[in-house]
Chains A and B, each alone.
Chain A
Amino acid sequence: MATAANRPAGVNGLLKLDEITTYYGQMRILEAISLEVGSGELVCLLGGNASGKSTTLKTVLGIVRPRSGRVLLAGEDVTSWPVPQRIANGIAIVPENRRLFGDMTVRENLELGAVLGDGGTFAEDLGRVHELFPRLHERRNQLAGTLSGGEQQMVAMGRALMSRPRLLLMDEPSMGLSPALVQQNFRIIKEVHESGVSVLMVEQNATMALSIADRGYVLSTGQIVLEGPAPELLKSEDLKRAYLGR
Chain B
Amino acid sequence: MTKFTQELVNGLTQGGLYALVALGYSMVYGVLKLLNFAHGDLYMVGAFVGYFVLQWFGGPTALAVPVPIVLLAMFLLAGGGVGALGVAIERFAYRPLRDAPRIAPLITALGVSFLLENTMLLLFGASYRDYNTSAFISFSTGIHIGALNIDIVRIMVIVLSVALMIGLRLLVSRTQLGRQMRAVASDREAAEMLGINVDYTISATFFLGSALAGIAGVMAGLVFNQIYTLMGFIIGLKAFTAAVVGGIGSIPGAMLGGFLIGIAEAFITGYVSSTYTNLIVFGILIAFMILRPSGLLGRVQLQKV
Tell me, yes or no, whether A and B come into direct contact in the complex with CB atoms closer than 8 A: yes
CB pair A88 B195 closer than 8 Å? yes
CB pair A115 B187 closer than 8 Å? no
User: Hey, what's the 0/1 contact readout for B32-75 against A, CB within 8 Å counting as 1?
Assistant: 00000000000000000000000000000000000000000000
Give the Cβ gap from B134 to chain A, nearest Cβ, in Å.
Answer: 47
Bound: A92/B194 CA distance, A: 7
Tell me if A106 is interfacial: C-beta within 8 Å of chain B: no
Please provide the chain B residues from 162 to 181 with a CB less than 8 Å away from any CB of chain A in the complex. 176, 179-180
For A87, A112, A113, the residue with the greatest tally of chain B CB atoms inside 10 Å of its CB is A112
User: Hey, what's the 0/1 contact readout for A81-105 against B, CB within 8 Å counting as 1?
Assistant: 0011001100001010001111110
For B189, B190, B193, B197, the residue with the greatest tally of chain A CB atoms inside 10 Å of its CB is B193
Tell me if B183 is interfacial: C-beta within 8 Å of chain A: yes
CB pair A63 B193 closer than 8 Å? yes
Identity of the chain A residue whose Cβ is nearest the Cβ of B196 in the assembled complex = A115
B contact residues around A104 at 8 Å (CB): 179, 182-183, 186
- Given A112-B179, A115-B176, check contact A83 B193 (CB 8 Å): yes
Bound: A102/B302 CA distance, A: 12
Bound: A87/B190 CA distance, A: 13
Identity of the chain B residue whose Cβ is nearest the Cβ of A160 in the assembled complex = B194
Bound: A104/B180 CA distance, A: 11
Bound: A223/B171 CA distance, A: 47
Identity of the chain B residue whose Cβ is nearest the Cβ of A85 in the assembled complex = B195
Bound: A87/B183 CA distance, A: 17
Neighbour of A84 across the interface among B186, B190, B197, CB < 8 A = B197
Bound: A218/B287 CA distance, A: 55
Identity of the chain B residue whose Cβ is nearest the Cβ of A103 in the assembled complex = B186
Tell me if B191 is interfacial: C-beta within 8 Å of chain A: yes
CB pair A112 B183 closer than 8 Å? yes
A contact residues around B176 at 8 Å (CB): 111, 115
Bound: A148/B167 CA distance, A: 35
Bound: A178/B180 CA distance, A: 32
User: Hey, what's the 0/1 contact readout for A54-69 against B, CB within 8 Å counting as 1?
Assistant: 0000000101000000
- Given A101-B186, A102-B186, A104-B186, check contact A87 B194 (CB 8 Å): yes
CB pair A63 B187 closer than 8 Å? no
CB pair B183 A83 closer than 8 Å? no
Give the Cβ gap from B90 to chain A, nearest Cβ, in Å.
Answer: 18
Neighbour of A163 across the interface among B180, B182, B195, CB < 8 A = B195
Bound: A115/B180 CA distance, A: 8
- Given A101-B182, A104-B182, check contact A116 B195 (CB 8 Å): yes
CB pair A112 B194 closer than 8 Å? yes
| Count of chain A residues near B, Cβ 8 A | 22
CB pair B179 A63 closer than 8 Å? no
CB pair A87 B189 closer than 8 Å? no
CB pair A63 B182 closer than 8 Å? no
Please provide the chain A residues from 166 to 214 with a CB less than 8 Å away from any CB of chain B in the complex. none
B contact residues around A103 at 8 Å (CB): 182, 186, 299
Neighbour of A112 across the interface among B180, B189, B197, B299, CB < 8 A = B180
Tell me if B192 is interfacial: C-beta within 8 Å of chain A: yes
CB pair A99 B189 closer than 8 Å? yes
CB pair B195 A115 closer than 8 Å? yes
Give the Cβ gap from A170 to chain B, nearest Cβ, in Å.
Answer: 12
Identity of the chain A residue whose Cβ is nearest the Cβ of B249 in the assembled complex = A103
Bound: A103/B179 CA distance, A: 11
CB pair B194 A115 closer than 8 Å? yes
B contact residues around A61 at 8 Å (CB): 193
CB pair B195 A83 closer than 8 Å? yes
Give the Cβ gap from B168 to chain A, nearest Cβ, in Å.
Answer: 18
Give the Cβ gap from A175 to chain B, nearest Cβ, in Å.
Answer: 14
- Given A101-B186, A112-B180, check contact A84 B195 (CB 8 Å): yes
A contact residues around B187 at 8 Å (CB): 99, 101
Please provide the chain B residues from 137 to 151 with a CB less than 8 Å away from any CB of chain A in the complex. none
A contact residues around B190 at 8 Å (CB): 95, 99-101
Give the Cβ gap from B178 to chain A, nearest Cβ, in Å.
Answer: 10
For B182, B194, B196, B197, the residue with the greatest tally of chain A CB atoms inside 10 Å of its CB is B194
Bound: A93/B182 CA distance, A: 20
Bound: A104/B173 CA distance, A: 10
29 A-B residue pairs with Cβ-Cβ distance under 8 Å, sorted by A, are: A61-B193, A63-B189, A83-B193, A83-B195, A84-B195, A84-B196, A93-B193, A95-B190, A99-B189, A99-B190, A100-B190, A101-B183, A102-B186, A103-B182, A103-B186, A103-B299, A104-B179, A104-B183, A111-B179, A112-B179, A112-B180, A112-B191, A112-B194, A115-B180, A115-B194, A115-B195, A115-B196, A163-B194, A163-B195
Contacts A83-B195, A163-B195 known; 7 new A-B pairs at CB < 8 A: A61-B193, A95-B190, A95-B193, A99-B187, A101-B182, A101-B190, A112-B196
Interface residues, chain A, CB within 8 Å of chain B? 61, 63, 83-84, 87-88, 93, 95, 99-104, 108, 111-113, 115-116, 159, 163
Interface residues, chain B, CB within 8 Å of chain A? 176, 179-180, 182-183, 186-187, 189-197, 299
Nearest 10 CB-CB pairings of A with B = A87-B195, A99-B190, A84-B195, A116-B195, A101-B186, A93-B193, A115-B196, A112-B183, A101-B183, A99-B187
